[in-house]
Structure 1
Amino acid sequence: MSKLIRFSKRVIDALPPQPQDAKARENEYSDTEVSGLKLLINKQGRKFFYLRYRHAGRQRSMKLGNYGELDIGEARLLALKHRTQLSEGIDPQESAAESGITFRRFIEDHYLPHAYASKRSANSDHSKFKIHLFQLFGGRLLTSITRQEIQRYHDELISRRAPATANRHLALFKRCFNLAILWGYMDRNPATGIRMHTENNQSQRFLNVDEARRLWAVLDNEQNQIAAKAIKLMLVTGVRREEALQAKWEDIDFDGQLWHLPMTKSGRQRFVMLSGVALNILENLPTKCRGSYLFPGRKSGQPLNNARKSFQRALRAAGLTHIRIHDLRHTFASLAINHGATLYEVQHLLGHASTKTTQRYAHLAADSLREAAARVGNMVSK
């Protein structure tokens, strides 16, 4: 017998698993706000949203999504959408199965417009689809992609990329399929249950002064000077790649020598101090760049999508290996500390919201800390 409750996060989180000795595999609860919206809880404590409905004289049900991946508001919206289809004589399950939409079409027509309207990292998502995912899954029907295929892709990717990169791809898969469920294009998420790879975020590569100078020198001869100058700016400011590529001229205050970042990874705005070298890079950008974005891409009105190809060419020319663009940020921090900056100063230069993040550079400050401790010791002993 289904129990009537008003779905809320507090109430659902407190609901217990189905007892192990119960005959039924799952316990069912009904939402008081949306007719037919159910929550099922199995003996392992997993919770699922379902829609129970009647069509053409038959009692039917369809899974909407897992609780946690689909929140209560999204489940209600999806249930209401399907009930609208029922009022028009359409079976929502058959409608989803017959839609025949491909992965590429769903991403280009539905996911990306939503992402650009709601995500700061939409440009990064777009790049993942173009460079990696469309090649393998673009022409496939959305509903035909299997969990095994996604697992295989996730496992294979770490042979070419860092575990963190593979995990970002998997998270993107999960989000896309959750939205496909929410919007009625499929009724299950094939990426559900696939585990993230273990990440080692402490593994870092810093360029020393000589290596940084070699990279700087070869960038002068890079064929794509827009990308080369973007890379140089990252090296001398420590900003993240997306922060640099999304920067606009309106964010630059030449008189105050400040760069305003209206939205950062932490969700807060901050200001970047512009050195004379950084200002020189900006002042010497080609006149044609003086549009909206500091570093425009090939498409009119769009920023440079990715500087990776130029970066890889520059690394080869400089004889450098095992360097990522994000390591330029680590290099900026390490060079600053090795030349007298404190961890407090580096925290603010990089825009870290917490000192905990900056502590990864603490070992670089060991020599200056020893010198400070020695000065105190000398003063006291005298």
Structure 2
Amino acid sequence: MGRISRLYPKGRLRLRIPKMVQSGKKYPLYIEYNWHADSIRKSTGISVSVKEWNEKGYCGIGEIRATTDIDYKYYNHALHKRIEDIDVKIHKYYEMHQHITCDVIRSFLEDNDNALRPDEGKDFIEFAKELMEKRYEKGKIGFSTCKNGISYLNQFEEYLLLEHKGTHGEHKEFIYVSDISEDLLLDFRKYRLLAKKKATTVNKTLCPILQACEYACQLGYISHQLNASLQDLYMKEEDRLDEEERNIKYLTEERLAELVSVYNTIEQPRRKEFLEMWLFAFHACGMRMVDVMTLRWKDIDFNKNFISKIQVKTRNRNTIPLSEPLIRILEKWKGRNKVFVFDLLPENFDINDHEAIYRRRNSWNNTINTSLRCISHDLKWNQDLTFHVSRHTWAVLALAHGAEISEISRLLGHASTGVTERVYAEFLPDNLATVVSKLAFCFIPDMNAKQKKVVSR
């Protein structure tokens, strides 16, 4: 049997002596690791003579003899402790990576422990800038987006320097990738707000930072739990009413029932699937088309029965109860795409690429609306069925059934109830009248009765 190969090396002390040894001369003592026919050494700064050195002492690691004129106990203890610490680091690195290299051993000898970090000592700002440049080179973002992203990262770098919020560097101006924290980004967000920046501007500044955090999570540099908390740091922005919001088109309950009844008569499989997406959006409290398209299986908790998703438009997290109709639709779509529920995006699609998301949204919106219009045409309706009609239908029917405007606003994912009131203002008077009639307060005297005389005593 041959010698059993070691998984990683052990350190020892080595007295470097020439071929011709001079009696009484002191020679330098080194810490040495032998690995893959290579010797990695580091000077200890101590010199002893050959007579003062015991090469086989301390279980073969080597030790200074008691005959020396220096404090041999102190130095032996310090040297052995030094080797033990490096051995522990090598063992830990091997446990993490199942291999070890001479460069890693050399870094440990130089007191550089970056190899043991989850991020391998990568600086966050450099990491984030490299990500922006790679995405630009791959055509995932435009030149202006890349340039602006790097500018926002420079602002974050300036903040770290001015506020000494980093974790390393002479002035705490740098931060490792795995050292990024929710508190740090909350402080940075507050710092930007104090500079009188609007929520929209602050979100733009946070965007390249949070994109880098998402990528760091994929590489295992930060935990999924931390990344989820970081992605929720986008601030609420005031919703701007687009054409679809200003022009309210919705279905009555009768037409909604008619739409459901025609489902099984549709012969085109894809058209049927688009109707399923429309019905899903309706039952998901009017979920926007772009959020249906980007809905991932990991956004859905079947155990606790809710959908928790960061909205693409507002970048706010919205939580929607998982109703029975939603579960039935989701069950039908299981197994189609491992990542995205409705198979409208490839599994490797970059969810942080907003430009690409809206390009896809526009393309799918045209395709789906063309198909939905065919359904409304076959039903001989005097209005076109579009995907956004599902959102307005849910909101109008919810108001008609007495739901509070604050509840509707929250489920729609609006930034405030003011936005909901502006969009659905024309439907509020009837709903308010219904609420008042239900209360039926009648605390009023008989106005026609004759005034009673007060008897004085």
**TM-score interval, smaller chain:** 0.3 to 0.5
The structure, 1 or 2, with the larger RCO (C-alpha pairs under 8 Å, 6+ apart) is 1
**What TM-score, normalized to structure 2?**
0.38
Which of the pair has more CA radius of gyration? 2
**What TM-score, normalized to structure 1?**
0.45
